[in-house]
């Protein structure tokens, strides 16, 4: 059998970002709002700092306003809630993202619930999660939204396809399953208590892996010709000949070398789902700004 098509998420995300930039310009030409995204970072977590910096850069590149709020590790919940309250009321801010994880002692659920659902561009607020579960329009979590866009690009109509989502987290697995259901797939959600996991995976025409376990999905778990979306981002020790000791690399939840021989199409790690997350954050910010101001989202050029 021939090798799987490699789904180029990086190129897709670049096209999406270019399209969004055009839509933002169009909005400004029609005297619409300039979409503004506020990112709140509490503490010094190095990975979070990198994410926040790249989100800020991408926001500005798309022609939107970026507001960064960096708070010390010692920030208490009341102070953070007061910042969110200010952002909720700020007319220049259309999207609010609180970078997770939050330091110990802060209840992330309470913080997410404090965000105005209209500005909840991460789509984590129970209001937006509820709307997604009911099949109503709303702000949808960025990573699963990006996965859906890639799937539609590769497969076109998803109706009737047998999909398996491996993982049931509130940020990836559950909303992914809801989106696939909304696209008329027949959806199975698998998790750590699933029996006969390999058999479940082998039935799937669409397999989305979001477990956080490097290389867990082996080639013989995959139905020949299936479309595989690997959400996992795991940093592991590099073991290629010639690699320096201590060097690391990123791998997904799927054993790529094995899977590429069986699947019909597959996302690589890195360069697959990862770049879609930020592009979808910008997508959500544009949509939030238009909804808040009651103006239509400009047509993409
Ligand atoms: P979580 O740890 O929140 O959830 C993992 C899920 O996988 C849980 O539902 C868990 O089941 C399930 N699981 C864990 N081990 C097994 C197992 N052995 N067999 C079956 N199911 C298992 O992870 P996230 O959803 O937050 O993230 C998943 C991966 O996606 C991570 O690698 C993360 O880094 C990556 N990620 C990538 C993003 C991107 O932009 N590309 C964005 C967000 C995440 P149970 O519920 O039973 O415990």
| Tally of CB atoms within 10 A around 49 | 14
Burial grade of 175 (CB within 10 A; 0-12, 13-18, 19 or more): buried
Would you give the DSSP letter of residue 162? E
| Fold observed for domain 142-273 | Rossmann fold (3.40.50)
Q: Are strands 206-209 and 186-190 parallel, antiparallel or unpaired?
A: unpaired
CATH of 32-116, one of 3.40.640.10, 3.20.20.10, 3.10.20.30, 3.40.50.10860: 3.40.50.10860
The band of 1, judged by pLDDT with boundaries at 50, 70 and 90, is: low
Would you give the DSSP letter of residue 298? P
Nearest CA to ligand 1 atom 47: 192
User: 3-state SS of the chain: helix, strand, coil percent to 5?
Assistant: 40, 15, 40
The verdict on the CB of residue 235 being under 6 Å from ligand 1 is no
Task: At 6, give phi and psi (nearest 5°).
Answer: -90, 120
Place of tokens 């798309």: 62
Q: Rounded to two decimals, what is the model's pTM?
A: 0.97
Q: Which of 7, 97, 173, 256 to mutate to test the pocket of ligand 1 (most atoms within 8 A of CB)?
A: 173
The tens digit of pLDDT for each residue in 229-239 reads 999 999 999 88
The tens digit of pLDDT for each residue in 77-121 reads 999 999 999 999 999 999 999 999 999 999 999 999 999 999 999
3 Cα: distance to centroid of ligand 1 (angstroms): 27
Q: Which of 97, 144, 172 to mutate to test the pocket of ligand 1 (most atoms within 8 A of CB)?
A: 172
Every domain of the chain and the residues it spans: 32-116, 142-273
Per the annotation, the verdict on 55 as an active-site residue is yes
Per the annotation, the verdict on 116 as an active-site residue is no
Q: Which residues contact 32 (CB under 8 A, 6 or more apart)?
A: 289, 290, 293, 295, 298
The tens digit of pLDDT for each residue in 153-207 reads 999 999 999 999 999 999 999 999 999 999 999 999 999 999 999 999 999 999 9
The band of 15, judged by pLDDT with boundaries at 50, 70 and 90, is: very high
Share of residues in the chain with pLDDT > 70 (%): 100
Domains 32-116 and 142-273 share a fold: yes
Q: Of residues 23, 119, 120, 122, which has the active-site annotation?
A: 122
The verdict on the CB of residue 49 being under 6 Å from ligand 1 is no
Distances (CA, A) of 136 to 24, 179, 255: 25, 11, 36
d(CA 188, CA 165): 6
Paired tokens of 288 = 């939030």
Strand order in the sheet with 206-209: 5-6, 265-266, 227-230, 206-209, 162-166, 186-190
- Average pLDDT along the chain: 97
167 Cα: distance to centroid of ligand 1 (angstroms): 5
Q: Of residues 23, 55, 230, 253, which has the active-site annotation?
A: 55
The tens digit of pLDDT for each residue in 229-275 reads 999 999 999 887 778 888 999 999 999 999 999 999 999 999 999 99
Place of tokens 């879609």: 276
């Amino acid at each position: 059998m021939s090798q799987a098509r490699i789904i180029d998420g990086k190129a897709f995300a670049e096209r999406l970002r270019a399209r969004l930039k055009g839509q933002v310009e169009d909005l400004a030409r029609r005297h619409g709002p300039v979409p503004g995204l506020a990112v709140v970072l509490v503490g010094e977590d190095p990975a979070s700092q990198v994410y926040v910096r790249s989100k800020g850069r991408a926001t500005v590149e798309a022609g939107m306003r970026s507001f960064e709020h960096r708070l010390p590790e010692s920030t208490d919940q009341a102070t953070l809630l007061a910042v969110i309250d200010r952002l909720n009321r700020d007319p220049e801010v259309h999207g609010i993202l609180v970078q997770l994880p939050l330091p110990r002692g802060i209840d992330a659920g309470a913080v997410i619930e404090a965000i105005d659902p209209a500005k909840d561009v991460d789509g984590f607020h129970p209001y937006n999660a509820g709307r997604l579960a009911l099949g109503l329009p709303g702000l949808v979590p960025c990573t699963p939204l990006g996965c859906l866009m890639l799937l539609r690009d590769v497969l076109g109509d998803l109706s009737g396809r047998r999909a398996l989502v491996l993982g049931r987290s509130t940020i990836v697995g559950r909303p992914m399953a809801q989106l696939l259901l909304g696209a008329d797939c027949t959806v199975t959600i698998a998790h750590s208590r699933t029996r006969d996991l390999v058999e479940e995976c082998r039935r799937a025409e669409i397999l989305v892996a979001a477990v956080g376990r490097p290389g867990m999905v082996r080639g013989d778990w995959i139905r020949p010709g299936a479309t595989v979306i690997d959400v996992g981002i795991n940093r592991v020790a590099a073991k290629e000949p010639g690699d320096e000791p201590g060097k690391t690399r990123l791998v997904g939840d799927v054993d790529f070398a094995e899977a590429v021989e069986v699947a019909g199409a597959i996302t690589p790690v890195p360069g697959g789902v990862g770049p879609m997350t930020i592009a979808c954050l910008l997508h959500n910010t544009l949509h939030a700004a238009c909804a808040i101001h009651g103006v239509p989202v400009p047509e993409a050029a």
